[in-house]
Structure 1
Amino acid sequence: MLRDFSVQTLFMGVLTAFVGFASSFAVVLHGLTGVSASEVQAASGLMALSISMGACAIVLSLATRLPVSIAWPGAALLAGSGAVEGGFSAAVGAFLLCGLLIVAAGLWKPLARMVSSIPSALANAMLAGVLIGLCFAPVKAIAFNPLFGLPIVLAWAVVGRVNRLYAVPAALLAFVLVIALGIDMPDDALGELSSALVPRLELIPPVFNTAAAVSIALPLFIVTMASQNIPGIAVLKVNHFQPNPGPLFATTGLFSLLSAPFGGHAVNLAAITAAMCAGTDAHPDCGRRYWSAINAGITYIAFGLLAGVVTAFVGLAPPVLIEAVAGLALIGAFSSSAMAAFTDDTREAAAITFLVTASGVSFAGVSGAFWGLIAGGLMLALARFARRKA
């Protein structure tokens, strides 16, 4: 096993973890605070997720000898869901329920097939509707203060023309420089950052209610399976690996259950960063590429232990600036989900799903993401019924 290790897989693993963490931790923090998490709870959730992702990647890659990359799903969906009755404790209850559903999907094939049967156009339209609000954040940041917002956007745009992988890290670096050079630090800022160096997980007692289950758990489960787990399997197959999906899904669900009590919403098979670990750049010998995922897992755990410092530093800036970084990180996901949603035969149903979701309107305490999926599904069923009658 150790003889399969190489410097190339070490480099790719560290790069994968850096890109995965730097490009999306802002989205995770914004999503957790969007469902009423405090700064301490958000830091705990970020730490729990990073450690869970890393441990899951290490366990699965060692067990299967496949480059199984792990990511965190649906954080932007949390920001779109908004606060629910019961506060963050209710959100934690929904995270636990989502983890149970993922385990069930891995162990019980009919449930996995049921999720797979949801039209991808509607799932993508729901995701696009959730993401669009956050994608406005870079524009709002420039309007808030051009001297703060423009450097972040310009760094993303210029570096992205050279290498898309480094676009969001460049925006994150610009964000750090804006905070360091342009914002007056409180007198006790250094003390807060120093105290945050000590890793601390916050145990959050869960509360279970219907509103959180329907607004958070169900949409999060659908997005996790349809937009991450299933594409993650496809990425492995494209790179000539033959994974057994059921055990992989069930294991990610188990690690989701372990992170949920500490504020982590879920972990899943990676889709985008999976291509980095599974491709030829990780190693010419496909039998040794699993070490790239193991190295990525070790690096994720190291990043997780620094989550408190990351969260405390981000908290020094106006919220709109970190939202801008998160929005820039999600533009690619928004564009790809929007393009996949508006296909010819389901365009109208997808549009209904997108508009209801993007409206942000809640009915009966349930967020628009769920109702958007229901409305689009009804429109699609009506269109198909009309075609059959014709």
Structure 2
Amino acid sequence: MFKDFSLQALFMGCLTAFVGFASSFAVVLQGLKAVGATDFEAASGLMALSVSMGLCAIVLSVATRLPVSIAWSTPGAALLATTGVIEGGFPAAVGAFIICAAFIIIAGLFKPLGRAVASIPAPLANAMLSGVIIGLCFAPIKAIGFNPALGLPIILAWIVVGAFKRLFAVPAALVAFVLVMIFGVDIPAGAFDALAQSLTPPMEWVTPSFSLHAVVSIALPLFIVTMASQNIPGIAVLKVNHYDPQPGPLFATTGFFSILSAPFGGHAVNLAAITAAMCAGEDAHPDPRRRYWAAIIGGVGYIILGLLAGVVTAFVALAPPILIQAVAGLALVGAFSGSAVAAFKEPETREAAAITFLVTASGLSFAGISGAFWGLLGGGLMMALQRAVVAIRARSLK
């Protein structure tokens, strides 16, 4: 095993961990706080997720000798950001995280359920995702309206760096955010002492509570988004790079590590999609059989970054909320554009996708159930009706 290690894999693994963490940790913090987590509980959740996905990546990559990259569910965090606090508060959300993780394990071990998730029409899944994300994607523009001197540098850094190297666009926005915080925001006296005290890894146990409301509002949409937008594409990335993974055990393992992180505030870990391409591609090593070391090193990097989650969260808490939302929104622009294109690509499913998108994006909450569920249900009914009409017309022409 150690003979397969290379400096090339070391570099790519470190880059993977940095990009994966820096590009979307703001989305995770925003999502956890939106469903009722305190600053310390959000920091605990961020740490739990980062450590869990690091350990999961190491375990799977060592066991399979494949470059299995793991990430937290960024679309899932965006979903949480639009859901808001449900009845029962954050403990109920944590209960929903555990149920979602159990669903993922079952989907991996019970093939019919896995096939059922895979059979959800891609246009509807993508429309739901784009509807969930669009709210945060408005945040960069709102940040300019809030204070151009603070919002513009973040957006300009993202635009300029992204024009040369798209991969570094969000980290550049994050660096601009840090500089704006240092030079443009009045930081209270004693804040840096508080940052020093937050070097201790944050960890807070949240006793979960369970309710049907939490299952329908959080667990089911989170499960669908995580499977459709992360786990299934993650398998596809590995296959594109000429690997032949067994999806079931990989899904079940991510579900197991999600359960471990949930009581500490983590919502879900899953197969990576974007960073998976970094570890599975030629940049990790010319020899495909040695690329798994990039995923292992990436896992180690996630663990280290997770242990620093307290400092990250304490620093972010000093910023006006709209600025961190702006960074989160910029991190989701690529996901929004990709999901929107996929949702409306096919003319025959465009109306059903539009219904799913509009209902989800509206933020509608009926009977305490979030718009993501109703959007998927409405689009599914529209698609079923259209197919029934086509079938009736076909029979009438015979």
> Where do residues 204-215 of structure 1 align in structure 2 (5 Å cutoff)?
204-215=206-217
Percentage of pairs with the same residue: 72
Q: Distance in 2 between matches of 1:355 and 1:111?
A: 27
* Aligned AA (1:233): I
Deviation track 1:26-71 (CA, whole Å, cap 9, x = no partner) reads 0000011111110000000000000001000000000000000001
Q: Distance in 2 between matches of 1:151 and 1:53?
A: 32
Q: Which residue of 1 aligns with 2:384?
A: 381
Q: Distance in 2 between matches of 1:52 and 1:239?
A: 25
Moved more, 185-194 or 302-311: 185-194
Q: Is residue 94 of structure 2 the alignment partner of residue 92 of structure 1? A: yes
Q: Distance in 2 between matches of 1:367 and 1:245?
A: 29
Three-state SS of the structure 2 residue aligned to 1:274 is helix
Q: Which residue of 2 aligns with 1:81?
A: 83
* Aligned AA (1:332): G
> Where do residues 27-38 of structure 1 align in structure 2 (5 Å cutoff)?
27-38=27-38
Q: Which residue of 2 aligns with 1:360?
A: 363
Q: Distance in 2 between matches of 1:157 and 1:148?
A: 15
Q: Which residue of 2 aligns with 1:64?
A: 64
Deviation track 1:7-27 (CA, whole Å, cap 9, x = no partner) reads 000000000111100000000
Deviation track 1:177-217 (CA, whole Å, cap 9, x = no partner) reads 00001111111201210111011210001011111111111
Q: Which residue of 1 aligns with 2:396?
A: none
Q: How far apart are residue 82 of structure 1 and its match?
A: 1.2
Q: Which residue of 2 aligns with 1:125?
A: 127
* Aligned AA (2:211): N
Q: Distance in 2 between matches of 1:191 and 1:213?
A: 41
Structure 1, unaligned stretches of length 5 or more? none
Q: Which residue of 1 aligns with 2:219?
A: 217
* Aligned AA (2:131): G
Q: Which residue of 2 aligns with 1:285?
A: 287
* Aligned AA (1:43): A
> Where do residues 160-239 of structure 1 align in structure 2 (5 Å cutoff)?
160-239=162-241
Q: Distance in 2 between matches of 1:299 and 1:200?
A: 17
* Aligned AA (1:30): Q
Q: Which residue of 1 aligns with 2:4?
A: 4
Q: Distance in 2 between matches of 1:185 and 1:289?
A: 44
* Aligned AA (2:25): F
* Aligned AA (1:62): V
Q: Which residue of 2 aligns with 1:245?
A: 247
> Where do residues 244-323 of structure 1 align in structure 2 (5 Å cutoff)?
244-323=246-325
* Aligned AA (1:117): S
Q: How far apart are residue 345 of structure 1 and its match?
A: 1.3
Q: How far apart are residue 242 of structure 1 and its match?
A: 0.7
Three-state SS of the structure 1 residue aligned to 2:202 is coil
Q: Distance in 2 between matches of 1:311 and 1:3?
A: 38
Q: Distance in 2 between matches of 1:367 and 1:224?
A: 16
* Aligned AA (2:57): A
* Aligned AA (1:359): S
Q: Distance in 1 between matches of 2:192 and 2:272?
A: 35
Q: Which residue of 1 aligns with 2:142?
A: 140
Q: Distance in 1 between matches of 2:136 and 2:85?
A: 16
Which of 102, 110, 113 matches 1:111?
113
RMSD value over aligned CA atoms?
0.5
Q: How far apart are residue 164 of structure 1 and its match?
A: 0.4
> Where do residues 316-335 of structure 1 align in structure 2 (5 Å cutoff)?
316-335=318-337
* Aligned AA (2:369): V
* Aligned AA (1:3): K
Moved more, 248-257 or 73-82: 73-82
* Aligned AA (1:374): L
* Aligned AA (2:348): D
* Aligned AA (1:50): S
Q: Which residue of 1 aligns with 2:342?
A: 340
Q: Is residue 44 of structure 2 the alignment partner of residue 44 of structure 1? A: yes
Q: Distance in 2 between matches of 1:382 and 1:201?
A: 49
Q: How far apart are residue 241 of structure 1 and its match?
A: 0.6
Q: How far apart are residue 83 of structure 1 and its match?
A: 1.1
* Aligned AA (2:16): T
Moved more, 146-155 or 183-192: 183-192
TM-score normalised to structure 2 length:
0.97
Q: How far apart are residue 80 of structure 1 and its match?
A: 1.2
Q: Is residue 373 of structure 2 the alignment partner of residue 370 of structure 1? A: yes
Q: Distance in 1 between matches of 2:83 and 2:213?
A: 11
Q: Distance in 2 between matches of 1:357 and 1:382?
A: 20
* Aligned AA (1:193): L
Q: Distance in 1 between matches of 2:216 and 2:182?
A: 41
Q: Which residue of 2 aligns with 1:55?
A: 55
Q: How far apart are residue 361 of structure 1 and its match?
A: 1.3
Q: How far apart are residue 306 of structure 1 and its match?
A: 0.3
Moved more, 79-88 or 293-302: 79-88
